[in-house]
Chain A
Amino acid sequence: MKTAKTFSLLSLFVLLVTAWAQNPGYRVDPGWKVPPKAAVKKNPLPPTPAVLAGGKALFRAHCASCHGRDGQGGRRAADFHLAAVQAQSDGALLYKMSHGYRRKGMPSFSQLPEVQRWQIILYLRELGKERGHRK
């Protein structure tokens, strides 16, 4: 009885946390501008399995706590499967990740080496491919 109650409580907690980790209603903020010079930057890394594995691990380490383990979005954080997010250039996504948007809860990741930030961008593109873009 005791165990059953504790476990139902725990499952509910896990459900609650997982429920947060979805944000299909996410809208890209048009006020979050990316300078044209930053937006045209190209990812210098090739999408090899090794580089992607690193990107995935970095994503899980630094981004998943808000954006969800599979990039499905969090309570306020962007869903990376959305077409509006995937439609942005690599340079634009790198710029947003590096500069953050504190008022809206997105930290800046300028402290990560640039090569690792590009690895994460590669992984974000994989996420976009995995399930196809959501409208």
Chain B
Amino acid sequence: MAPELIFKDGNAGEPLQLIASGSWTAAHAASLEEKIAAIKFEAPGSRRLDIDIAGIGELDTFGAWLLERLSRACIAHGYDARLVEVSGRFRGLLDEMHACSRDKPPLVKQNPILAKLEGLGVAATEFGQDLVRLIDLVGRLCSAIALTFRHPSRFRFASTIHHLDRAGWQALPIIFLITLLIGAIIAQQGIFHFRKFGAGDYAVDLIGILVLRELGVLIVAIMVAGRSGSSYTAELGSMKMREEIDALRTMGLDPVEVLMLPRIVALVCAMPILTFFGSMCALYGGGLVAWLYGGMSPPIYIARLKEVVTVTHFEVGMIKSPFMALVIGLVACSEGLQVAGSAESLGLKTTASVVKSIFLVIVMDGFFAIFFASIGM
């Protein structure tokens, strides 16, 4: 039954009357709100006003709250309002509503410009804190390593092997595939463009040097950051969310030693191996394209590679890779430990972990390039 709200002005001396009837339920709440808003209050005489609810057949919390809101509005307008003809079965609910929200806390209003400025400041200090946290984590990792050297039995060998399997062995197929494709693409582009000035053979120099020095390790680092770094952050983050890390701490175990050291050690071991295989695969892919697309037979490709590639190029790539693994592992763990209670923050931190570690890996690669150039490698 549709709800009704009728306003009746009694004779002078008699109380005003609001007569409510029908179903005061959530389904009709929208129309009820309009009806309540439509009531026009006369001059604020301190007259009595009875809200007669005898006709209400159905009442739920939404309806009860609307009644309560109505009577509060009347009182605010200076009427002496009360509910009359309350049947027994509604009394409890109306009383509950009557007791609610008597004192609303003031909403803190913020100046939008100030809020933007505050956000900027927070982001800036956040950046500084990030660095401090990373350095702090390096320190704790070092002390954990030192402790492990003194008590080698405390090193979590099984856990390290497990992570080595996940971050290294299980990553091989995708690394093979990606680096093979990258090598092939570089070869195709190199041959295509170098041919224009009759230097198609120099594509091999391009492939050999680029892959061994830069691309092999960078592609692998980006893959590892996306694959293992993100999963480290998500694992540690959800453990943080469910107080598992606090539980570890209270048992006298150091989360850095138990959770991070095996992960980071595994990553530092796995990354050079992945880089090696990745580089080889890229060279192989380049060779395939040189043969099928450039018409250079494999023996010639290999001979040419031997001529241009020196051990130095190979070393440059391999030396970089464990450092990149260290950065990825550290960033992933530190972001994981910063996860707060919500699922949203877990997602944010996982994204941040991947973005930050890829950024740092590329910045570090730049510094390595300067360094190797200045020592003549």
Bound pair (A, B)? no
Interface residues, chain B, CB within 8 Å of chain A?
Answer: none
